[in-house]
């Protein structure tokens, strides 16, 4: 369904082309950084619209170029929304502007809505398909001009009558343009806060064919008063210094109504001149205050109304002189605000005006330097995101070590890079301290080694001292524990020995036959000895015999073992037999001993 503006425009094209106009899809450029906002806007669009989202950064103006439709701006998520509105208004009159803002920021945009800079102002909290559809139905400002021309072209009358009405209409439009622009100047000056040095001032281009103000159109709202009555009211308004406000009741507006009826009325022409003098003074004050856009628009209206006025001519010269300085100041503000496309456009415009080359080159250097800083800031932010306790020693391309190396390749001496280097080193030292307190000395050593590769610092030195102290303390504790364990073992052994009953006495031998001298040894004159170890059974027999020592080796072993095997001792109880210690005996083999 078309709204009334769309129907009027279609009817106008039909009149011009001799037939109905086939509908075309309207471009809707959605400015936002919020995906949820895009999703909420989507259901309100049907096949009459073609949407294109952008976040309002980079070369976003290319999205609008060569198109016409509606620019839907989400002011809640875009800090540069005012700049976007000013740029679209100044460079893309084929787009209607609709702003979606929080309720708390509505007052900030109300003035732009009242003066026609934006077509719709929507509350973000109460968005609905219906409110969005109304905003999308807004017609571009450029459409109103042909409609106005068509309305004027269909007026009847003789050739001389049309010429007279054309002259009267031209004078009236010029006067109304002056009235509206001057009223806009003062109302904005009173309502808006003074701009800071970092702000940029821009007044949107008014809709084509209606001038830069919302002042009433005499043709649309005819005044029933006569010329004398209007002139009388204008004199009173001028005497009371109501030069350009309030709207509809100021001197300029009243004089404009007279000129709309009688284009050559001398008093009205003189009144316009006198009001223009006041407006020139205000415009010159605006130039000094840095409100160049406002002053320039007011000058255009003044030049249309009184092009030969000396003060208007002087104002034009002042604007021409001040514009390079103003452009340079705006470019610096845009650079400091990271609005790089705007800064480029301003610098290009400054260069086209033949400004001082040194100033232009300085601005270009500042822009490139700021761009490098912004790019580096993004890289540093990405590197900071990799700083967590689990990835401090990550050697991959996504780890902080690799990211630091990449930053150093870009600009090792940059304050941002040096700051990140210190942050990384501090994080490594902090991780080493945490590992030290947890007793993970090996991990602490690895973290400190990585920190030392970056460079020396007091933080790393202190962390290493803390690690060494913790190691020494742990070693001392381990030694104390070992000593305590040894002492407890010795005490337990002594206690066990004291608690155990004494071993039983060795029973007396009942039979101990001497060993037989080996014949070979005796024949060869060999002497020696054998030590035999044994245990006793409960009935006094020897058991578990073992040669402990023999000299010479193995010569007398068998003779000794055979003799001890035949030994007998007194019987003992089985309990005492188990507790008897092993006994050893030395058997000597000497020639000449009795057998």
Please spell the DSSP secondary structure of 91-106, one letter per residue. Answer: H-TTEEEEEEE-GGGH
Residue 286 confidence (pLDDT): 83
Fold category of 4-148 in CATH: Rossmann fold (3.40.50)
Query: How far is residue 328's CA from residue 334's CA, in Å, rounded to a whole number?
Result: 10
> Could you report how far apart the first and last alpha carbons of the chain are, in Å?
144
Query: How far is residue 81's CA from residue 87's CA, in Å, rounded to a whole number?
Result: 10
User: Residues of 560-575 as b/e, b for ≥16 C-beta within 10 angstroms?
Assistant: bbebbeebbbeebeee
Query: How far is residue 62's CA from residue 55's CA, in Å, rounded to a whole number?
Result: 13
312: confidence class by pLDDT, cuts 50, 70, 90: confident
Residue 305 confidence (pLDDT): 64
Residue 143 confidence (pLDDT): 53
Helix (H) or strand (E) holding 535: strand 528-536
Query: How far is residue 583's CA from residue 505's CA, in Å, rounded to a whole number?
Result: 12
> CA Rg, the chain, in Å?
53
For residue 472, give both structure tokens: 């020494």
Residue 35 confidence (pLDDT): 81
How many Cα neighbours within 13 Å face the side chain of 265?
Answer: 23
Cβ-based neighbour number of residue 318 at 10 Å? 17
Q: Is there a cis peptide before residue 283, judged by omega within 30 degrees of 0? A: no
208: confidence class by pLDDT, cuts 50, 70, 90: very low
Residue 330 confidence (pLDDT): 87
Q: How far are the Cα atoms of 90, 307, 331 from residue 283, in angstroms, in the given order?
A: 19, 15, 22
For residue 437, give both structure tokens: 């307190």
**pTM of whole model > 0.85?**
no
Digit-coded pLDDT (tens) for 518-574: 999 999 999 999 999 999 999 999 999 999 999 999 999 999 999 999 999 999 998
Query: What percentage of the chain has pLDDT greater than the value 90?
Result: 36
Query: How far is residue 393's CA from residue 431's CA, in Å, rounded to a whole number?
Result: 10
Digit-coded pLDDT (tens) for 451-493: 998 888 899 999 999 999 999 999 999 999 999 999 999 888 8
Question: Average pLDDT, stretch 101-108?
Answer: 88
For residue 34, give both structure tokens: 């919020």
Q: How far are the Cα atoms of 63, 77, 141, 354 from residue 27, in angstroms, in the given order?
A: 10, 22, 14, 37
Whether residue 8 is predicted with pLDDT greater than 60 in this model: the reply is no
Residue 273 confidence (pLDDT): 84
18: region left, alpha or beta (phi > 0 left; psi from -120 to 50 alpha): left
Residue 349 confidence (pLDDT): 87
Closest CA to 356 of 309, 394, 324, 392: 324
Whether residue 216 is predicted with pLDDT greater than 60 in this model: the reply is no
Question: Average pLDDT, stretch 259-263?
Answer: 89
How many Cα neighbours within 13 Å face the side chain of 335?
Answer: 21
Residue 309 confidence (pLDDT): 81
Beta bridge partners of 535: 543
Domain boundaries, the chain: 4-148, 163-368, 386-473, 509-589
For residue 439, give both structure tokens: 């007793």
Query: How far is residue 454's CA from residue 404's CA, in Å, rounded to a whole number?
Result: 10
More confident residue, 140 or 454: 454
Whether residue 177 is predicted with pLDDT greater than 60 in this model: the reply is no
69: region left, alpha or beta (phi > 0 left; psi from -120 to 50 alpha): left
Residue 222 confidence (pLDDT): 64
Query: How far is residue 432's CA from residue 263's CA, in Å, rounded to a whole number?
Result: 88
Residue 478 confidence (pLDDT): 92
Helix (H) or strand (E) holding 543: strand 542-551
Digit-coded pLDDT (tens) for 409-430: 888 888 989 999 899 989 999 9
For residue 157, give both structure tokens: 């009358």
Q: What is the DSSP string of 14-74?
A: HHHHTSPPPP-PEEEEEE-S-HHHHHHHGGG--TTEEEEEE-S-SSTHHHHTT--EEEEEE
6: confidence class by pLDDT, cuts 50, 70, 90: very low
For residue 268, give both structure tokens: 């009205």
User: Residues of 137-150 as b/e, b for ≥16 C-beta within 10 angstroms?
Assistant: bbbbbbbbebbbeb
Order of strands, edge to edge, in the sheet holding 528-536?
A: 542-551, 528-536, 583-589
Query: How far is residue 492's CA from residue 488's CA, in Å, rounded to a whole number?
Result: 6
Whether residue 40 is predicted with pLDDT greater than 90 in this model: the reply is no
Residue 166 confidence (pLDDT): 38
For residue 371, give both structure tokens: 């761009």
Residue 73 confidence (pLDDT): 95
Q: Which residue has the tokens 């790089």?
A: 340
Choices 3.30.499.10, 3.40.50.720, 3.30.2420.10, 3.10.20.740: CATH for 509-589: 3.30.2420.10
Whether residue 341 is predicted with pLDDT greater than 80 in this model: the reply is yes
Beta bridge partners of 123: 101
For residue 23, give both structure tokens: 């509908």
Question: Average pLDDT, stretch 489-503?
Answer: 80
Closest CA to 200 of 282, 285, 292, 113: 292
23: confidence class by pLDDT, cuts 50, 70, 90: low
More confident residue, 9 or 445: 445
215: confidence class by pLDDT, cuts 50, 70, 90: very low
Question: Average pLDDT, stretch 94-110?
Answer: 90
* CA of residue 207 relative to chain centroid, distance: 38
**List of residues 6+ apart from 89 with CB closer than 8 A:** 97, 117, 202, 204, 205
Residue 388 confidence (pLDDT): 83
More confident residue, 469 or 198: 469
213: confidence class by pLDDT, cuts 50, 70, 90: very low
């Amino acid at each position: 369904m078309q709204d009334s503006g769309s129907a009027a425009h279609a009817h106008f094209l039909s009149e011009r082309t001799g037939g109905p106009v086939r509908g075309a899809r309207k471009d809707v450029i959605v400015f936002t950084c919020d995906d949820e906002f895009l999703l909420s806007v989507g259901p309100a669009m049907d096949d009459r619209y073609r949407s294109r989202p952008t976040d309002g950064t980079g070369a976003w103006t290319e999205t609008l170029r060569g198109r016409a439709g509606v620019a839907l701006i989400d002011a809640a998520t875009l800090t540069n929304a005012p700049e976007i509105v000013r740029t679209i208004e100044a460079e893309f009159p084929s787009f209607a502007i609709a702003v979606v803002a929080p309720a708390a920021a509505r007052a900030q945009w109300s003035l732009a809505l009242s003066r026609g800079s934006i077509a719709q102002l929507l509350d973000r909290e109460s968005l609905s398909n219906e409110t969005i559809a109304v905003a999308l139905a807004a017609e571009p400002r450029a459409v109103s001009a042909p409609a106005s021309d068509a309305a004027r072209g269909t007026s009847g009358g003789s050739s001389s009558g049309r010429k007279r009405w054309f002259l009267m209409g031209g004078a009236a439009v010029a006067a109304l343009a002056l009235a509206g622009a001057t009223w806009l100047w003062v109302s904005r000056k009173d309502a808006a806060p003074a701009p800071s040095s970092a702000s940029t001032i821009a007044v949107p281009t008014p809709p084509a064919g209606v001038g830069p103000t919302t002042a009433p159109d005499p043709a649309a709202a005819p005044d029933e008063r006569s010329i004398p009555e209007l002139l009388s009211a204008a004199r009173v308004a001028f005497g009371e210094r109501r030069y350009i406000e309030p709207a509809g009741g100021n001197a300029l507006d009243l004089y404009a109504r007279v000129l709309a009826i009688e284009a050559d009325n001398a008093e009205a022409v003189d009144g316009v001149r006198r009001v223009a003098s006041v407006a020139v003074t205000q415009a010159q004050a605006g130039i000094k205050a840095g409100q160049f856009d406002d002053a320039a628009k007011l000058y255009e209206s003044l030049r249309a109304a009184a092009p030969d006025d000396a003060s208007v001519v002087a104002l034009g010269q002042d604007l021409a002189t001040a514009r390079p300085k103003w452009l340079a100041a705006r470019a610096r503000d845009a650079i400091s605000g990271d609005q790089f496309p705007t800064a480029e456009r301003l610098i290009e415009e400054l260069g086209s005006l033949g400004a001082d080359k040194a100033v232009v080159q300085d601005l270009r250097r500042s822009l490139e330097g700021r761009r490098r800083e912004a790019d580096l800031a993004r890289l540093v932010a990405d590197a900071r995101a990799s700083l967590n306790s689990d990835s401090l020693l990550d050697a991959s391309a996504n780890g902080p070590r690799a990211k630091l190396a990449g930053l150093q390749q870009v600009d090792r001496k940059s304050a941002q890079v040096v700051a990140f280097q210190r942050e990384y080193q501090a994080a490594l030292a902090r991780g080493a301290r945490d590992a030290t307190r947890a007793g993970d000395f090996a991990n602490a050593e690895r973290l400190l080694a990585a920190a030392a590769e970056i460079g020396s610092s007091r933080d790393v030195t202190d962390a290493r001292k803390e690690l060494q102290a913790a190691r020494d303390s742990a070693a001392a504790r381990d030694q104390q524990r070992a000593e305590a364990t040894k002492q407890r073992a010795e005490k337990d052994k002594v206690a066990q020995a004291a608690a155990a009953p004494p071993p039983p006495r060795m029973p007396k031998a009942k039979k101990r036959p001497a060993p037989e001298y080996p014949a070979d040894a005796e024949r060869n004159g060999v002497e020696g000895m054998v030590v035999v170890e044994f245990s006793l059974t409960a009935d006094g027999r020897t058991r578990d015999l073992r040669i402990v020592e023999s000299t010479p080796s193995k010569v007398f072993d068998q003779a000794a073992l055979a003799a001890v095997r035949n030994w007998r001792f007194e019987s003992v109880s089985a309990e005492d037999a188990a507790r008897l210690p092993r006994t050893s005996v030395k058997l000597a083999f000497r020639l000449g001993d009795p057998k």
